[in-house]
Amino acid sequence: MTIIFSIITVVLLSISVWQIAKIFEVSNLGKKKDDSQVANHKDNDLQGKLMFAFLVFIYLVTIFSFVSYTKVLLPESASEHGVTYDSLFFISFALIMFVQIITQALLHYFSYKYRGLKNTKATFITHNNRLEFIWTIIPAIVLFGLILYGMTTWSQIMNFEEDEDALVIELYAQQWNWKARYAGNDNVLGDANVRFLNDYDGRNTVGIDSSDPNGLDDIVVTQEFHLPVNRKVIFKFRSQDVLHSAYMPHFRAQMNCVPGMITQFSFTPTVTSEEMRQNADVVDKVTRINKIRYDKSQELIAKGEESLEPYQFDYLLLCAKICGASHYNMQMKIVVESEKDFNKWIDKQKTFSEIIQ
Amino acid sequence: MSVVVNNIEDNHDEHHHKETFITKWIFSQDHKMIAKQYFITGVFVMGIIGVLMSLLFRIQLAWPEESFTVFEIFLGDKWAPDGVMDPNIYLALVTIHGTIMVFFVLTAGLSGTFSNLLIPLQIGARDMASGFLNMIAFWLFFVSSAIMLASLFVEAGPAAAGWTIYPPLSALPQTQPGSGLGMTLWLVSMAFFIASSLLGSLNYIVTVLNLRTKGMTFFRLPLTIWAFFITAIIGVISFPVLLSAALLLIMDRSFGTSFFLSDIFVQGEVLHYQGGSPVLFEHLFWFLGHPEVYIVLLPALGITSEIIATHSRKPIFGYRAMVASILAIAFLSTIVWGHHMFITGMNPFLGSVFTFTTLLIAIPSAVKAFNYIATLWKGNLQLNPAMLFSIGLVSTFITGGLTGIILGDSALDINVHDTYFVVAHFHLVMGISALYGLFAGAYHWFPRLYGRMMNKSLGYIHFWITAIGAYGIFFPMHFVGMAGLPRRYYTNTAFPYFDDLADINVLITVFALITGLAQLVFLFNFFHSMYYGKKSEKNPWKSNTLEWTAPVEHMHGNWPGKIPHVFRWAYDYSKPGKKEDFVPQSVPIAKGEKITEH
């Protein structure tokens, strides 16, 4: 059935293409038949106008996309550096939109304005040093500004200090799940290596070296990990098999996990999960998502299948580096909460020494 | 049948050997035939397969995990049980689509075709410096294509580690089935490809350096030749690095070395690898990978420069600035590779350095864009399909290039790295732009390839559907990326958070299907015109360059009798005081005529 349908679609499309081709040809019917296949005045006129129409199309696509898709974008940043990130992003984006609108207008307007009509003559212009100097130097100045701004932001984000108060967490990647390891009371992660993974009948899930005393109070969690709000977190990343990338979009944070190497990133979460759920954009997004899920559930129920759970917003840790079959489903929930709630949660978790006993 | 001729003495090699079917159609050493062979293999064989793959995974992305008959037809029971696509084959499709489009279509199909066709014809040479090497280059490419296609049929599936084949995923078959025989064939195929590319590039370089006709100084070269020449140089510099990376990867895979691997635990087993680093591979890969972007793009820009000037009936604006920007882009392209690696754990200081060099590239790129626009200004635009595709190229080059300012900025890269924002960016700036360059070249030089004209009405239809489709597909895709969706996800349904992106994905897929189907118009036009197209005049576009002074019928040695000499630059269009609006390069300077300063 699908095949027949596809064939019919293809045939219909071909016919319509043929018909449109005919229209182009008919619009060219002049006094004498011109089949040179080189554009004549009439072609130039029509195509030039279409070029102008295309400019309108580009603008419409742009407006349409901003109007209908702004709502799917990430909500305001939930981390301290994310605010700086967002303003740099906004400035760069505004700048490129400005250049985009102007240059596309010139390109397509000129294509329309100077289309070759009957008496059109081209003007012989080879170059203009002053003009070329101007349009070299202006982008250069603007770009130097952007480079400086970008470099400052980058070094602010990346060159963090290992201060005492910061919470140290290791994010551990494998095909295809995440684990998080807290450094425990001493706030120092014990040494670890994949060689230790088979110790203790596989209970040593991230390969902690049990001879390192720093590791005994470490806490390994799966499924979700918690962060206290407004406290700096230093993340150390490891992978046991292939490359992964720890991507936490709501915090404007991402770092690759590289086997054989420890990478790091740091941010300070500023908005608790509960607060983010109250954020107007998030409320709006969740409402829309639940509407979609409700409609889909109705379909599923009609087919006799299970309905979908309603969705509640949570921060996410995703994998952004291709890592094999279940790359698309490598996730962990992040909970940001008050220091008090965080302590309550962490106290309930088992330490490494308890697990290997 | 060697046609290597001493150009300086301008003799025509008279001792033609008798041509057999094999030497004419298969193992031809004639650059025009080799150009056709590249086009047919690169665009019509590999291109169709590459595009088809993208349509398959776009269908999966729009209607995830649903059953489709087309999946059963193309993927079979094994990879699409009950018509539902398997996640492993999804990754394989993404991988092979990238590989085919970047290397086979846009490197070999584009550069291979037009460098071969145009270098000898536009500089006034009888053939390439070495017709034999040129033939070998094509056949190495052919073998490489055949191996790549064969890899689609191996038991465990083709390579599926992404076109960047980062180890350890690409090194260890335990981590995904595609990293077994499929990856081996991928590597072997690429080794052939690189050999082909090197032989081709060396030939182009030598030909441009040594076989220019009398009067063809470097600053009289058409911009196409400048672009092909510089592209070949970048290729010679960067492709060997990929070859060495591939060889080291083969060592790791098959001989137990640890160049890229360390501390790995898979399927309950600690592997023996110690001390290597995947980041090293990333450096080696992108040392080719980034210049590769310009290997793909520069020829398209060269073609566009030539076509925009010819069809505007006006000199290209700022010829020297155009040459300078090609040189600047080529130089910078070799020192920006690290912008693909900002968040790989590379030292953050290096991130700053690469941000600096990367954003610098925007300057020569901007100069190019402005010069194209200035060329249109006060022109007499002949809006042939080739011209439309060239203007389209400038448009997508700007749209796609601008978002490079965000991705090239290390700080901003953090949150959009490996999301659909990147996919949208590079598809516009190098994918679509280079494809437009390829189409523009095909429409413009079809008369030179086959002595016939392509149908312009079909050309217009092809352009408009493609142009609307390109924006329809890739403009909304930026938003999918900014919403935080990583690329190469088999389905987005695992995250309810992305449920509201489903509509955008359907829209993108619908545009992709329509645009993909529209390419059939080109296919039809090409083959139909090859046999039934209107016979072309000698110089249908009233162009200045030398290829249009050669007879329409192909012949060995390109020109009967002497090779034309060159007296002027290639862009004397609408020169004041001339009767016609073009003056071919081979026309001597008239009495009292001023040589155009450029």
Q: Does B265 touch chain A (CB under 8 A)?
A: yes
A349 and A214 in a common domain: yes
Q: How far is A45 from chain B (nearest CA, A)?
A: 9
Could you count the other beta carbons within 10 Å of the beta carbon of residue B372?
A: 30
Q: Which helix (H) or strand (E) holds A173?
A: strand A167-174
> Residues 146 to 185 of B: which have CB under 8 A from any A CB?
161-162, 166-169, 172, 175-176
Are B133 and B199 a contacting pair, CB within 8 Å? Answer: yes
pLDDT in the model for residue B16 = 54
A160: chain B residues, CB-CB within 8 Å: none
Q: Does A151 touch chain B (CB under 8 A)?
A: yes
Q: CB–CB of A157 and B374 under 8 A?
A: no
B411: chain A residues, CB-CB within 8 Å: 85, 88, 150-151, 153-154, 157
Confidence of residue A2 (pLDDT cuts 50, 70, 90): low
Give the contacts of B120 (CB within 8 A, at least 6 positions apart): B31, B126, B127, B128, B207, B211, B558
Alpha-carbon distances of B195 from B199, B228, B558, rounded to whole Å:
6, 18, 28
Q: CB–CB of B380 and A121 under 8 A?
A: yes
Give the contacts of A287 (CB within 8 A, at least 6 positions apart): none
C-alpha dihedral sign at B285, B287, B290, B295 = negative
Residue A322 domain flag: yes
- Residue A117 reports pLDDT greater than 60: yes
Portion of chain B with pLDDT greater than 70, in percent? 97
Per-residue pLDDT of chain B (598 residues; tens, 9 = 90+): 344 444 444 444 444 556 787 877 888 999 999 999 999 999 999 999 999 999 999 999 999 989 999 999 999 989 999 999 999 999 999 999 999 999 999 999 999 999 999 999 999 999 999 999 999 999 999 999 999 999 999 999 999 999 999 999 999 999 999 999 999 999 999 999 999 999 999 999 999 999 999 999 999 999 999 999 999 999 999 999 999 999 999 999 999 999 999 999 999 899 999 999 999 999 999 999 999 999 999 999 999 999 999 999 999 999 999 999 999 999 999 999 999 999 998 999 999 999 999 999 999 999 999 999 999 999 999 999 999 999 999 999 999 999 999 999 999 999 999 999 999 999 999 999 999 999 999 999 999 999 999 999 999 999 999 999 999 999 999 999 999 999 999 999 999 999 999 999 999 999 999 999 999 999 999 999 999 999 999 999 999 999 999 999 988 899 998 999 999 999 999 999 888 999 999 999 988 888 888 8
Q: How far is A272 from chain B (nearest CA, A)?
A: 17
Q: CB–CB of B376 and A107 under 8 A?
A: yes
Within 13 Å and on the Cβ side, how many CA atoms surround A185? 8
> Residues 6 to 35 of A: which have CB under 8 A from any B CB?
6, 10, 13-14, 17, 20-22, 24-25, 35
- Give CA angle at B279 (B434, A328), nearest 5°: 70
Q: Does B84 touch chain A (CB under 8 A)?
A: no
Distance CA B404, CA B476 (A): 16
Residue A185 domain flag: yes
B449 and B575 in a common domain: no
B556 and B530 in a common domain: no
DSSP label at residue A212 = S
* Residue in chain A lying closest to B477 (CA): A65
B485 and B377 in a common domain: yes
Q: CB–CB of B417 and A254 under 8 A?
A: yes
Q: Residue B516 sits in a domain of what CATH number? A: 1.20.210.10
B427 and B348 in a common domain: yes
Task: Enter the tokens of residue B409.
Answer: 């900025």
Q: CB–CB of B313 and A122 under 8 A?
A: yes
A38: chain B residues, CB-CB within 8 Å: 382, 384, 453, 456, 540-541
The letter for the amino acid at B258 is: S
Distance CA B240, CA B243 (A): 5
Q: CB–CB of A36 and B534 under 8 A?
A: yes
Are A31 and A42 a contacting pair, CB within 8 Å? Answer: no
Classify residue A177 by burial, with Cβ atoms within 10 Å: 0-12, 13-18, 19+: middle
Cross-chain CB nearest to A47 (options B277, B383, B398): B383
pLDDT in the model for residue B14 = 47
Q: Does B120 touch chain A (CB under 8 A)?
A: no
Over residues A214-223, mean pLDDT: 94
Residue A299 domain flag: no
* Residue in chain A lying closest to B87 (CA): A325
Residue A36 domain flag: no
End-of-domain residue from the set B482, B511, B535? B535
A326 and A183 in a common domain: yes
Distance CA B264, CA A95 (A): 45
Give the contacts of B202 (CB within 8 A, at least 6 positions apart): B133, B232, B236
A109 and A82 in a common domain: yes
Residue A23 domain flag: no
Distance CA A176, CA A120 (A): 65
Q: CB–CB of B415 and A252 under 8 A?
A: yes
Interface test with B, best of A3, A147, A293 (most B CBs within 10 A): A147
* Residue in chain A lying closest to B505 (CA): A69
- Residue A219 reports pLDDT greater than 80: yes
Distance CA B116, CA B207 (A): 10
Cross-chain CB nearest to B482 (options A62, A73, A328): A73
Q: CB–CB of A37 and B491 under 8 A?
A: no
B516 and B597 in a common domain: no
A339 and A194 in a common domain: yes
Mean pLDDT of chain A: 91
Could you count the other beta carbons within 10 Å of the beta carbon of residue B587?
A: 18
The more confidently predicted of residues A4 and A76 is A76
Interface test with B, best of A110, A155, A161 (most B CBs within 10 A): A110
ipTM attached to this prediction: 0.93
> Residues 306 to 345 of B: which have CB under 8 A from any A CB?
312-315, 317-321, 343-345
Residue A301 domain flag: no
Distance CA B289, CA A188 (A): 39
Q: Residue A243 sits in a domain of what CATH number? A: 2.60.40.420
B380: chain A residues, CB-CB within 8 Å: 114, 116, 120-122
DSSP label at residue B486 = B
Residue A107 domain flag: yes
Are B438 and B446 a contacting pair, CB within 8 Å? Answer: no
Residue B236 domain flag: no
B471 and B337 in a common domain: yes
A191 and A313 in a common domain: yes
CA Rg, chain B, in Å? 24
End-of-domain residue from the set A127, A158, A189? A158
A235 and A176 in a common domain: yes
Q: Give me the domain span that covers residue A60.
A: 41-118+143-158
Distance CA B340, CA B407 (A): 9
Q: CB–CB of A125 and B417 under 8 A?
A: no
Q: How far is A348 from chain B (nearest CA, A)?
A: 28
Classify residue A299 by burial, with Cβ atoms within 10 Å: 0-12, 13-18, 19+: exposed
Over residues A130-140, mean pLDDT: 92
Helix (H, G, I), strand (E, B) or coil at A279: coil
A220 and A89 in a common domain: no
A319 and A244 in a common domain: yes
Distance CA B223, CA B117 (A): 15
C-alpha dihedral sign at B478, B480, B484, B490 = negative
- Tell the residue number behind the tokens 């840790």, with chain if given: A317
A245 and A191 in a common domain: yes
Distance CA A154, CA A236 (A): 18
DSSP label at residue B23 = I
Report the candidate in B477, B401, B459, B480 with the shortest Cα–Cα distance to residue B433: B401
End-of-domain residue from the set B535, B555, B578? B535
Residue A5 domain flag: no
Q: CB–CB of A114 and B372 under 8 A?
A: no
Over residues A45-67, mean pLDDT: 96
Report the candidate in A90, A79, A75 with the shortest Cα–Cα distance to residue A280: A75
Number of folded domains in chain A? 2
- Tell the residue number behind the tokens 């009609």, with chain if given: A302
Strand partners, A319: A246
B359: chain A residues, CB-CB within 8 Å: 143, 146-147, 150
Distance CA B336, CA B318 (A): 26
Portion of chain A with pLDDT greater than 90, in percent? 80
Dihedral (Cα; A215, A216, A222, A228), 10-degree rounding: -80
Q: CB–CB of B484 and A74 under 8 A?
A: yes
B279: chain A residues, CB-CB within 8 Å: 258, 261
Q: Does A241 touch chain B (CB under 8 A)?
A: yes
End-of-domain residue from the set A158, A189, A220? A158
Quickly list DSSP for B418-441. TBHHHHHHHIIIIIIHHHHHHHHH
Task: Enter the tokens of residue A153.
Answer: 């932001």
B519 and B416 in a common domain: yes
Strand partners, A227: A336
Distance CA B324, CA A133 (A): 13
Residue B188 domain flag: no
pLDDT in the model for residue A26 = 64
Gap between the terminal Cα atoms of chain A: 62
A229 and A101 in a common domain: no
- Residue A10 reports pLDDT greater than 90: no
Residue B353 domain flag: yes
Task: Enter the tokens of residue B347.
Answer: 């030292």
Q: CB–CB of A88 and B412 under 8 A?
A: yes
- Tell the residue number behind the tokens 């965000």, with chain if given: B406
Residue B28 domain flag: no
Strand partners, A178: A173
Distance CA B211, CA B456 (A): 35
B267: chain A residues, CB-CB within 8 Å: none
Q: Does A260 touch chain B (CB under 8 A)?
A: yes
Are B304 and B390 a contacting pair, CB within 8 Å? Answer: yes
Residue B425 domain flag: yes
Q: Give me the domain span that covers residue B575.
A: 547-598
Q: Does B539 touch chain A (CB under 8 A)?
A: no
A237 and A96 in a common domain: no
Quickly list DSSP for A228-241. ETTS-EEEEEEESS
CA Rg, chain A, in Å? 30
Could you count the other beta carbons within 10 Å of the beta carbon of residue A125?
A: 17
Distance CA B173, CA A41 (A): 61
A209 and A111 in a common domain: no
Helix (H, G, I), strand (E, B) or coil at B567: coil
End-of-domain residue from the set A93, A127, A158? A158
User: For the segment B65-94, what is each residue's pLDDT rounded down to a tens digit?
Assistant: 899 999 999 999 899 999 999 999 999 999
What does DSSP say about strands A315-319 and A244-248: parallel, antiparallel, or unpaired? Answer: antiparallel
> Residues 214 to 233 of A: which have CB under 8 A from any B CB?
none
Give the contacts of A147 (CB within 8 A, at least 6 positions apart): B355, B356, B359, B409
pLDDT in the model for residue B2 = 42
Q: CB–CB of A151 and B162 under 8 A?
A: no
Helix (H, G, I), strand (E, B) or coil at B269: strand
Task: Enter the tokens of residue B3.
Answer: 């046609």
Residue B35 domain flag: no
Cross-chain CB nearest to B504 (options A17, A69, A245): A69
Distance CA A184, CA A218 (A): 5
Task: Enter the tokens of residue B11.
Answer: 């003799």
Task: Enter the tokens of residue A114.
Answer: 């100077």
Are A228 and A167 a contacting pair, CB within 8 Å? Answer: yes
pTM across the whole model: 0.93
B464: chain A residues, CB-CB within 8 Å: 50, 54
* Residue in chain B lying closest to A311 (CA): B496
B434 and B487 in a common domain: yes
A137: chain B residues, CB-CB within 8 Å: none
Cross-chain CB nearest to B411 (options A25, A132, A154): A154
B315 and B457 in a common domain: yes
Residue B568 domain flag: yes
Q: Does B592 touch chain A (CB under 8 A)?
A: no
Q: Which helix (H) or strand (E) holds A337?
A: strand A331-337
Number of folded domains in chain B? 2
End-of-domain residue from the set B535, B555, B583? B535
Over residues A41-47, mean pLDDT: 94
Residue B79 domain flag: no
